[in-house]
Structure 1
Amino acid sequence: MTAVIYARYSSDNQREESIEGQIRECTAYAEKNGITIVKHYIDRAISAKTDNRPEFQQMIKDSDKKLFDIVLVWKLDRFARNRYDSARYKTQLKKNGVKLMSATEIISEGPEGIILESVLEGYAEYYSADLSEKVIRGMTENALKGKFTGGAIPFGYIINADHRFEIDPLTAPFVAETFQRYNDGQTMREIRDWLNEKGVKNQRGGLMTFNTIQHMLNNRRYIGELKYRDVLIPDAIPSIVSAELFNDVQEKIAKNKKAPARRKAEDDYLLTTKLFCGYCGALMFGESGTSRTGEVHRYYKCATAKKHKGCKKKTVRKQWLEDLVVNQTMQLVKDDAAMESIIAKVMELQNKENTNIPLYKKQLRDAESGIQNMLNAIQAGILTSSTKERLEQLEETKRELEARIAEEKLAKPKVTEEFIRFWLLRFRKLDMSLKDQRQALVDTFINAIYLYDDKVLITFNYKEGTQTVTFGEAAEAASKGNGSDLDCFTAP
């Protein structure tokens, strides 16, 4: 596993040394757990309350490059002090396959906050999807009319003032000849070289590439078809090649296609960053090995035991442990009393999150009361230059406070109890055979897992949520069918 360290100190009450301390503790944590640090991102004298953190923003961008697996922070408040920003940036990291970890907080303070972040992610996703649906409806209408709906304009076409496709007389002949040459037996590389020798440039003004030719020969727009999402419209735009030639080319592509090189299957370990050795406290990571028969075995191993430094924790089979944890978590999700308790705690936490709005509202009431007193004084005939100045100050204060309240409401939307219930109870309908849905369940409800040789202790993301299950109990429950969605728990 590879990681980057993100460190930050604010100018309020911290010094440069605090950065060194954060990096030192993060580095020690990484060394203990077999994590390789590849880079440091450091923001100096900058608060986490602002998005204007250059190194932080660069780290978020770099997470898309697949250069690291983990963002490691000293404490989670180094990442973001605002729950809403935290949810937003964690979502970006998650999409890029990167996890956030704290070197000092194995179990975060106020674990319900993780569930609240899941709800906030869902809230944004829900309304983003609603907006997207409205946009898609409009774009689909354009596609049905044969209009350009965005994206790259295919080589050989131009878009006119009415947003419709027209054949480009300068480049379309090269498209037609490309299809004919491939049908006559030339390779894509030979066609690429011919176009480059002719000085033909791609849509961005660069050289033609193998991928450009491959994409061109597979693009059904050249026979007049236009597709937007799941809507296919034949004869929507002018065609450059005939359907007969296009189909002949597709047959040749299929015949010439070599069998793809065998890719090494990625080992996706569901519990990474949440699974700890019950004996030494180190992280447990996924490993795999191949038997003499060629069968691949996947398991979790203690980072300390891996380095032969004294821990005797045995390895545990990956699928067995993941099924056990998912099963126990689903039992929690299906428990009505537990879910209502979680919903109540999430609502309570959300109400505590924003302390600014109540303060601003009190200040607004005070300003409005002051304005009314000034107006009463004016009506009573008391009008001096200081009275007028004071009234103008109060009016300005009122406008500022109203603007601040509006900004806070926009930045931190209040999610209703009904939406929280809807969002959390949807986990009951997840398909546990799908990796992404299992991952969503684990990420939302599980805080930490401590694994021993005879039992597993699961800490869920709410204060009463700690459960210890012995392997014998798990096997017995499964054999009796006591709430298990799994066929059987055999020995690890």
Structure 2
Amino acid sequence: MNNRIDAIYARQSVDKKDSISIESQIDFCKYELKGGSYREYTDKGFSGKNTDRPKFQELIRDIKKGLIAKVIVYKLDRISRSILDFSGMMELFQQYNVEFVSSTEKFDTSTPMGRAMLNICIVFAQLERETIQKRVTDAYYSRSQRGFKMGGKPPYGFHSEPTKMDGINTKKLVANPEEAEHIRFIFEMYADPKTSYGDITRHFAQQGILFYGKELIRPTLAQMLRNPVYVQADLDVYEFFKSQGTVLVNDAADFTGTNGCYLYQGRDVKACKKNDLKDQMLVLAPHEGIVPSDTWLACRKKLMNNMKIQSARKATHTWLAGKIKCGNCGYALMSMINRVGTQYLRCTKRLDNKSCVGCGKIYTAELEALVYQQMVKKLESYKTLTGRKKAVKGNPKITALQVELAQVDSEIEKLVDSLTGANNVLLSYVNAKIAELDSRKQALVKEIADLTVDTISPEQVQQISGYLDTWETLSFDDKRRVLDLLVTTVEATSEKMNITWKI
């Protein structure tokens, strides 16, 4: 241990006039060395709120290697602002017999009083950081209460322009005439009790009108209809939000039917549901609203009366659930039941906004029979492998990809199952989410296919063959397991069927 050296650690989060540079910190620390040799560890541009800093982590590794005798810093908060992190460091220093010195605060960890004083100081360092965080939070709510736009891209229908409020530079929303007309039309359509989300999204899809560069989907539409940024806020709007328990920053007299509003999450609210306005904060914005209050309120109340989305359920209608997709658009097929109790399949995109021609008339039982026949046929070609001596060793990369693929399959399955009896909001959300998951799924399938060569073993062929031979007596869950071993997706219409195999 005699060849251990001293270490100087310096940190600077940002360059400011009132912050001490890393070079100055090192100069202060050199006085403690009295000319001895040392090694520098410096982190520039890193906060002291945690220990996730490259050079600091290098210092810790060198301590554990037994290379460091003493750690010297300019000031305590250079090394940590967290009492938990600092306490852990002190334990580490004691474990490896490393002294700790703060050159400006004169702490000596070799004495009980020095250790006690260090703990007291780190408490105040953490308190200072939390005080700064509170000031930032206070500033946020102070500015939001005064009607400042608090970041984020402008909502559809507006663009932002620089302005000055109370002598402070900020941004103000200004209506885009063409987009504002689309917004007004959306609210006018939805205010009609007979109009659904699908009617609106279908209208804009047929017109080729894009929102944020994409087709309008139901989650985006729902977000627009809930946003008070569009309303020409009058006394009726004031009374509505007041009845919901919303915190109203402005007086009732300020609601003159001209300005839009900003709705912010309340300061003490940890999380809120879409329809829960209690303790949220409503502020009159400096921009002019574009939707009359009566129309906006009619839409908002209609939204609040929507049915609650039911939670996802385990697949019960078909063992193909989660695997079957429309052969035309690639969206999930949903199992439904007609009046006489016969199950059939419908394209969820067709149900959503009729932008797909659909899959045609497919009866669930008939498709199940076809898939079963194809699984039997597929496995027949693999039975010849049982006479070969070629054994395929497990590929760890393939295993990892297959685990991820199973997780994606499971998520898709749950989403598809949740569609049974779902309302329009859930239907749209699930379609968008399934499309996102399916994109990842196809990428995984391709990667696995590229790595896979004769990856099914003779033992697996024999086991699966046994299941297929007793198919009629298998449980629902066992059928799903066999399907999952063999099949990635089944794309089907009334005219054709294509199976993507895992083997």
**What is the TM-score when the length of structure 2 is the normalising length?**
0.30
Larger Rg: 2
Name which structure has the greater RCO, CA cutoff 8 Å, separation 6+.
1
**What is the TM-score when the length of structure 1 is the normalising length?**
0.30
